[in-house]
Chain A
Amino acid sequence: MLALTSPVQTPYHRLPAGAKLAALAGVTVVLFRLDSPAPLAVALAAIALLHIPGGWPFAAHALRLLRPLWPFALVIALWHLWTRDIGGGLTILLRLTAALAAANLVTMTTRLSDMIAILERLAAPFARIGLPPRRLALAIALAIRFVPVLSDRLALLSDAWRARSPRRPGWRIVTPAALATLDDADHVAEALRARGGAG
């Protein structure tokens, strides 16, 4: 499993993650305040220009990350052509694209370890209500570790199903997968306890 961080090194990779997140929050608030196509087009162009230091492969990666937007773009385009409200449609589309591109830019230029460090710092106040940052970090690490483990388990279950039946496995492997997850969770809990607990 690969994180969405871009392998292309840009100057933004060296900026502190906290600053980038704060800037993103500010930009997003401003984007949702702008209410006509012209300023939003300028904002989108500015965000597009920010991709230049990464070069073409970086920009292509960014464009690929915008792809999930197209069904909505299609619905909005048809809707606003139908109601003859072209300006309103453009406003929505430009705002959506700009907000998504800005958020993706932060994700693409921030390493997973930096994000987890920020998360631990943000979670520090929760220590008083029973969630020490250490426990959160352990939960994140466990979940990330078990994504490939459970993914392999699911693949084995569907192979076993295919060996027995000509039909697709579909939902029938969800029950054994959930059962295996519950068993694994019990084993992990015992292992944690044997090593001094979760802190």
Chain B
Amino acid sequence: MERSLSHIALFAALIAVLGFVPQIMLPFGVPITAQSLGIMLCGTVLGARRGALAVLLFLLLVAIGLPLLSGGRGGLGVFASPTVGFLVGFPVAAFVAGLVTERLPAPVGWAAGLGALVGGVVVLYAFGITGLSVMLDKTMAEAALMVTAFLPGDMIKVVLAGLVTHSLARMRPGVLLSRS
């Protein structure tokens, strides 16, 4: 009980802190931050249930007015902005990433990478694109066009999520709650 609670709380803080890491600019001028890598790691490291709860806790902190989203955004306004779909999708993304890592009978690094791809890209983009299309009154195809610029950055993060989870498992076997 205490172990679940402390892991959920500290990973919520980790998502926030990864958002402070300076943004890296991709060659064609799209900023990428480590925050969504934090979302993926919540799932691949803590597992589906705890990972989703950690992300929900992070969103609660943002909603009550702490500027913890990348770029120092926060407050209730972020839930009224065009990117609200991504925020709603965050906990689902962590859950799916965790579920794949838990269930897939493959080495943990590969399972985590695939989980991050399905959860952190496929599921998350489905939510994000739906949100954009509702908030900006565009068709799904037009909304999808707007987010393609972020796809390369997120693919890099998928690979990183797999690598980081793999190294964690090797350095400290048994540390991954998703595989215990």
Contacts and interface: CB of A to CB of B under 8 A. Distances in A.
A189 B146 contact: no
Contacts of B11: 181, 185
A143 B10 contact: yes
B2 A174 contact: no
Given A72-B136, A154-B21, A143 B9 contact: yes
Chain B interface, >50% SS class: helix
Interface in B26-52: 34, 37, 41, 45
Residues of A in contact with B, size category: 35 or more
B2 A150 contact: no
A147 B13 contact: yes
Interface residues of B, number: 56
A28 to B, nearest CB: 6
A100 B45 contact: no
Interface in A74-120: 75-76, 79, 88, 91-92, 96, 99-104, 106-108, 110, 112, 115-116, 119
Contacts of B168: 175, 178-179, 182
B7 interface: yes
Q: Which of A88, A138, A140 has the most chain B CB within a 10 Å cutoff?
A: A140
B75 A107 contact: yes
A174 B171 CA distance: 14
Interface in A5-40: 5, 24, 28
Interface string B68-99: 10010111110111100000000000000000
A73 to B, nearest CB: 10
Contact of B6 (A68, A110, A119, A192): A192
B65 A185 contact: no
A142 B76 contact: no
B21 A68 contact: no
A182 B7 contact: yes
Interface in A168-186: 170-171, 174-175, 177-179, 181-182, 184-186
B82 A96 contact: yes
25 contacts: A65-B75, A68-B81, A76-B136, A79-B138, A96-B80, A102-B80, A103-B77, A139-B12, A143-B12, A143-B57, A150-B10, A154-B21, A174-B34, A177-B18, A178-B14, A179-B168, A181-B14, A182-B7, A182-B175, A184-B10, A185-B6, A185-B7, A185-B9, A189-B2, A197-B2
Interface of A: 1-5, 24, 28, 65, 68-69, 72, 75-76, 79, 88, 91-92, 96, 99-104, 106-108, 110, 112, 115-116, 119, 135, 138-140, 142-144, 146-147, 149-151, 154, 170-171, 174-175, 177-179, 181-182, 184-186, 188-190, 192-193, 197-198
Interface of B: 1-3, 5-14, 16-18, 20-21, 24, 34, 37, 41, 45, 57-58, 60-61, 63-68, 71, 73-77, 79-82, 135-138, 146, 160, 163-164, 167-168, 171-172, 175
